Structure 1
Amino acid sequence: MGMLVVLEGLDGSGKRTLAAALRQELADRGLRATSLAFPRYGQSQPADIAAEALRGQHGDLLASINGMAVLWALDRYGARPLLEQLRQEHDVVLLDRYVASNAAYSAARGEAGAEHATMEWVRELEHDRLALPEPALYILVDVEAAVAEQRARHREATEPGRGRDAYERDSTLQDRTATIYRQLAEQQWTSPWVVFRGSAGDGAIEALAGRIEDIRAAGDGRR
């Protein structure tokens, strides 16, 4: 059974670029690697409804922290058969966002001081009730919120259909989310975490691939 490795971070943090580089590095080491991104826009009704809410549709749905969180969770729940298939066919499945993104953004949207309760609610919803598998490793792609925003603005200007949504336009939310991501990594929330602040060419990607190989060799692929 292949292991799940999750890349987390703000929109514009560089997750997609890192996933491509890491997938190639793992393939060069003889591992069958593939990738999947959440939310699954265009493939999942819960994800599409949530995306529409982020763009002003569906009345007051966006105002509901829990309502939006449930939609993101149901998107992943609908992908359980696909995740199972990918894990059967590959050694490593790289996920661009997973349960921790729901914990980080939901906690950041809530009242100060209630972060832990929100994160625990997300964990119980997605891992306990919906039985989504825990990843073998979370990789936090950690950049300053201002850098992520600049990249998101560039993507909006250069890539058709990649306009920023309500979350991405809220700089205060992005700052709080970045802080909570770092807390999740520090707490080693649900799974082992590593923080990535490197770049291609400095050996950081090779080090990540080595960490993945070590976890796989130890047999801790999680269920």
Structure 2
Amino acid sequence: MLVALEGIDGAGKTTQLHLLEERARRQGLRVASLSFPRYTETVFGRCVAAYLRGEFGPLAEVPPRSAALLFAGDRLESLELLSRLAAESDLLLLDRYVASNLAHQGARLAVSERDAFLAWLAHLEYEVFGLPRPTLTLYLRLPVAVASSLLATRAQQRRSGARDLHEENAAYLARCAEVYEQLASAHADGPWEIVSCVDEKERLRSPEEIQVQVWSLLERYRTV
């Protein structure tokens, strides 16, 4: 199984990936994981890091297609590793995948332009570059207001002072959420399942509580 964890910044994708890894290994599964972008491992990953630091200019000045090619190129450079891990493992977990590129760059376009852009980018990554489609995409849904608060705390805790143009812009984060909802409802690149990160009163659920639901969904697709 190739399982992609998706969601806006602050949704807890990395935390859920680690919890899934631990539980899957306890179940005796061969597990591997990758996190995209691979900021230091690929040429394109290093370009992505520079872009997010603002070295290519403000977010509005970098064309969405240009930025999308950086993220897609990082996965293309990683394709041999991705394919090997998939062949060697029962479960390959991905912290962000193609849908992240679709959401983050699609969010920068007018609604009237999004569908054509999303179709172009999905075709590029899956058909031209030959990336494997996920067996399952788990979308961790988090309200934008909650995410913004969590990201503000994260920024204050950073010792390096590193910037991330995507995280700094709350309006942009809201548009990313819109595109994620569109992708989830359309099952853009295979089966999608939505996991709410908050309860009915919009209080954050614990990572452990979320993980129980995530594992249940994963088990359902393992038996299909």
In 1: Cα distance, 2:71 partner to 2:178 partner: 21
CA deviation after TM superposition for structure 1 residue 135, in Å: 0.5
2:176 paired with 1:177: yes
Aligned to 2:4: 6
In 2: Cα distance, 1:77 partner to 1:201 partner: 33
Aligned to 2:72: 73
2:19 aligned to which of 15, 18, 21:
21
CA deviation after TM superposition for structure 1 residue 132, in Å: 0.3
Counterpart mapping for 1:131-150 below 5 A: 131-150=130-149
In 1: Cα distance, 2:213 partner to 2:169 partner: 34
Q: Is the 8 A contact 1:140 1:185 kept in 2?
A: yes
In 2: Cα distance, 1:164 partner to 1:148 partner: 17
CA deviation after TM superposition for structure 1 residue 213, in Å: 3.1
Aligned to 1:51: 49
**In the alignment, residue 24 of structure 1 is paired with which amino acid?**
E
Aligned to 1:215: 221
Aligned to 1:221: none
**In the alignment, residue 45 of structure 2 is paired with which amino acid?**
A
In 2: Cα distance, 1:87 partner to 1:63 partner: 33
Question: After alignment, is 131-140 or 46-55 more displaced?
Answer: 46-55
CA deviation after TM superposition for structure 1 residue 157, in Å: 2.3
What are structure 2's unaligned runs of at least 5 residues?
Answer: 198-205
Q: Is the 8 A contact 1:8 1:100 kept in 2?
A: yes
Question: After alignment, is 138-147 or 45-54 more displaced?
Answer: 45-54
Aligned to 2:36: 38
In 1: Cα distance, 2:160 partner to 2:143 partner: 25
User: What SS does the corresponding residue of 2:193 show, helix, strand or coil?
Assistant: strand
Aligned to 2:126: 127
Q: Deviations over 1:115-143 (max 9, x none)?
A: 21111111110001000000100011110
**In the alignment, residue 194 of structure 1 is paired with which amino acid?**
E
Tell me the C-alpha RMSD between the 2 structures: 1.9
2:83 paired with 1:84: yes
Q: Is the 8 A contact 1:46 1:75 kept in 2?
A: yes
TM-score normalised per structure 1:
0.89
Q: Deviations over 1:72-119 (max 9, x none)?
A: 001001111111121122111110100001111111101122221111
Q: 1:68 to 1:201 in 2, by over 3 A?
A: closer
Question: After alignment, is 193-202 or 115-124 more displaced?
Answer: 193-202
Q: Is the 8 A contact 2:52 2:165 kept in 1?
A: yes
Q: Deviations over 1:122-179 (max 9, x none)?
A: 1110001000000100011110112222222222222434734111111111001011
What are structure 1's unaligned runs of at least 5 residues?
Answer: 219-223
Aligned identity (percent) is 35
In 2: Cα distance, 1:104 partner to 1:38 partner: 14
Equivalences, count: 215
In 2: Cα distance, 1:194 partner to 1:164 partner: 31
Q: Is the 8 A contact 2:166 2:172 kept in 1?
A: yes
User: What SS does the corresponding residue of 1:57 show, helix, strand or coil?
Assistant: coil
